[in-house]
Amino acid sequence: MLEKRIIVCLDVRDGKTTKGVKFKGNIDIGDPVAMARQYYEQGTDELVFYDITASTEDRGIMIRVVEEVAQEIFIPFSVGGGIGSVQDMRRVILAGAEKVSVNSQAVKNPGIIEEGASLFGSQCIVLGMDVLADKDFPSGYRVVINGGRVPTELDALAWALEAQKLGAGEIVLNSIDTDGMRDGYELTITRLISEAVTIPVVASGGAGRPEHLAAVLTQGRADAALIASMVHFGDYSVPQIKQYLHKEGIPIRSDWGL
C-alpha cells in the first residue's frame, strides 16, 4: 500500500502566514519562511504555499517569499495563488517550487491545465478546488472561486474529472463548509472524488485532531491530508500526528524526527 502524505499548508497574505475560518476572519500568525523551516524540520512530507489574495487582487504571486521558502526546505513544495499563465508557472518553478497549483484561474481558463502539463509534466500541475455543499448540483457540491467569494456553475465531481482529463496530476480538495472549523474533513465529497479519479487527491479543510486525518485517509480514501490550524496554533506537532497514524496502521513515511 502506498504511503499516505501529511502536508502542511501556509496561507500567505501580505507576506505573513494567516488563518481564518471558512475563508473569513483571517488573522496573521507568523512568518512563512520561518514556519516552513519549522515544519520541514518536524518531518512534514510536503508543504503548500497559497498566496490567498493574489487572484482577488488580480496580481502575480509573491515570488520573493517563494524563493526564500524554497531555500529553507528540501521536500516537495507546491505554490498557488494568482497563477494565470504558463509564464507564471515557469516563474514559480524557477523560484524553487516542485508543483504549481491552479484554482480560480483554471476555472476561468481550463486550457492552462493542459498547457502547463504539456510544458512541465502532469506531476507539476495541481488543481486546487474549493467546494460548497449544494443539493442543486449532481454531486451535491458546487465549485467556488476567488477565495470562496464567487460561486460558479461547475459541479465538483464533473470539474475534477475534467481537470484530470486536461492533465492535472493531483487535486487538492478543500471544503469551505469545514475549513478552519477543526471538526473533521468533509468525507462525502472527498470519497466521491477519490474513487472517481485516478490521480492523487489531497483532502483539505477541517482537521482538528489526528483522528480526523485517520478518517479522511481511510473512509475518505484520500491519498494525503492537508493540515493548518491544528499545527499552526500548537495543538499538535507533525511527529505527534504521524505517531498516531502509525499506531492506527495507516502507512506513512516513517523517517520523521522524534
Element (H, E) at 115: helix 111-120
What is the rounded CA–CA span in Å between residue 238 and residue 219?
21
- The answer to whether residue 14 is catalytic is no
Neighbours of 118 (CB within 10 A): 12
Residue 215 carries which DSSP code? Answer: H
Q: Characterize 224-250 residue by residue with b for buried, 16 or more Cβ atoms within 10 angstroms of its Cβ, and e for exposed.
A: bbbbbbbbbeeebbbeebbbbbeeeeb
Neighbours of 2 (CB within 10 A): 7
The label of the residue with cell 476561468 reads 108
One of 51, 88, 130, 179 is an active-site residue; which one? Answer: 130
- The answer to whether residue 255 is catalytic is no
Q: CB within 8 A of 10, min separation 6: which ones?
A: 17, 32, 35, 36, 47, 48, 49, 50, 69, 228
Q: CB within 8 A of 206, min separation 6: which ones?
A: 175, 178, 179, 180, 181, 182, 183, 184, 185, 186, 212
One of 11, 51, 88, 179 is an active-site residue; which one? Answer: 11
The label of the residue with cell 502575480 reads 60
* Amino acid (1-letter code) at residue 146: N
Residue 110 carries which DSSP code? Answer: T
Catalytic residue IDs: 11, 130
